[in-house]
Structure 1
């Protein structure tokens, strides 16, 4: 699967490597082109997943503020709820095209 913004591929991995949580596909960290992500200071804490890290994303020409997010250290209970460790996996906002 791929996460694409304006024709730029930001992440790519086999479907069985991704984790779907609340309708969002989370890509494994090694599948994400980290050069295109910039850490954002936007704070957010999910009640059941924990502290979120947002990233602004560039396609080379445009920047999408807070277009990606991750949970670097999710709550242990959330790992049990999801059934897999999604630490540092990256999801993209609805502005991105997720394709198979």
Structure 2
């Protein structure tokens, strides 16, 4: 850490998804360097809000199921180039 700070200086801001794997380390860094702020990544924040909103919606569940089904049906056809993207269990919003 010290060698990196020598090269680049102390960061003004650290942007993160607040994942448990990095949150503690970033908080410790900000405590050691009070001029550095810890900011929640807007993409992850928006995904969290959307997930909370859409998870209980039956229409959303139906849409996801149809997208996955369509992808399987067209993957070996001339429509493969416009198939829906693979669905992931995280950050699909």
Whether TM-score is above 0.5 comes out as no
Larger helix proportion of the pair:
2
Q: Structure 2 length as normaliser, TM-score? A: 0.22
Structure possessing the higher radius of gyration over alpha carbons: 2
TM-score in terms of structure 1 length? 0.21
